Amino acid sequence: MRFTELGIDTRLEQQLAHQGITEPTEIQAHAIPTALAGHDVFAQSKTGSGKTLAFLLPAVQRVMKQKALSKRDPRVLIVAPTRELATQVFSECRALCAGTNIQVCKVLGGENYNDQVKALRRDPHFVVGTPGRIADHVENRSLFLGGLELLIFDEADRMFDLGFEKQLDIINDSADHRQRQTLLFSATLDHTQVEASSRQLLKSPKRIMLSNAH
């Protein structure tokens, strides 16, 4: 199967081909068309199965297709549990956006706060970061989520294990539920806290649960 068969642009397919990525993984084959159709998604598949592109591709595709870029940015917010994971998502996102006018900003804990405030003032289309620092910017009004179209929780199980429940609530509450789409990815099946919180974070989600066995 090809990425274009899932609704992905040839331009993005070519970007992936440069990285040696030509065929979608199972989670990508399921999650990409579901996300592109506008559904909320609750997806679970094991580590290394390609979850990052499963949410980045529909996110980039969606923003790429919008002609007039609105003033209500960011359009997409991606929350990841650790600095390392957020940095990885940021790098993959930037690689995909090469050759587009999409601006991506990284907001990590432990890095200079005021530099981030300045970067956020330039209205990036995508913001990628860790829960604590994103929640700080939301509470201090340096990050406004009123125009958010897509909220993505990456490695949600890990974020709950690390005790970020309160920060995720702050982020969730500040983004308008009626107009946003939400994608939640987890490596663990039947994670009690993720299951419970998914009811607040997602509306009528499509569940994509892939077995951890081969």
- Single-letter amino acid code for the residue at 190: D
Q: How far is the CB of 181 from ligand ADP (least distance, A)?
A: 20
CB-count exposure of residue 162 (10 Å: 0-12, 13-18, 19+): middle
User: Among Mg ion, ligand ADP, none, what does residue 23 contact (CB within 5–8 Å per kind)?
Assistant: ligand ADP
Q: How far is the CB of 125 from ligand ADP (least distance, A)?
A: 21
CB distance 64 to 150 below 8 Å: no
Strand partners, 211: none
Among 7, 50, 132, 147, binds ligand ADP (CB under 6 A): 50
Q: Which of residues 53-82 bind ligand ADP (CB under 6 A)?
A: 53
47 forms part of the interface with ligand ADP (CB under 6 A): yes
CB distance 170 to 138 below 8 Å: yes
Among 18, 48, 101, 122, binds ligand ADP (CB under 6 A): 48
**For the stretch 10-28, what's the b/e string if a residue is b when 16 or more beta carbons lie within 10 angstroms of its beta carbon?**
eebbebbeeeeeeebbebb
Among 51, 106, 125, 158, binds Mg ion (CB under 5 A): 51
49 forms part of the interface with ligand ADP (CB under 6 A): yes
Q: How far is the CB of 181 from Mg ion (least distance, A)?
A: 19
Among 5, 23, 115, 139, binds ligand ADP (CB under 6 A): 23
183 forms part of the interface with ligand ADP (CB under 6 A): no
User: Among Mg ion, ligand ADP, none, what does residue 25 contact (CB within 5–8 Å per kind)?
Assistant: ligand ADP
CB distance 89 to 78 below 8 Å: yes
CB distance 81 to 130 below 8 Å: yes
Q: Which residue is nearest to Mg ion (CB)?
A: 51
Candidates 80, 91, 38; CA nearest to 62 is 38
State whether residue 54 is helix, strand or coil.
helix
Q: How far is the CB of 27 from ligand ADP (least distance, A)?
A: 7
Report the interface residues with Mg ion, using CB under 5 A. 51
Residues that bind ligand ADP (CB under 6 A): 21, 23-25, 28, 47-53
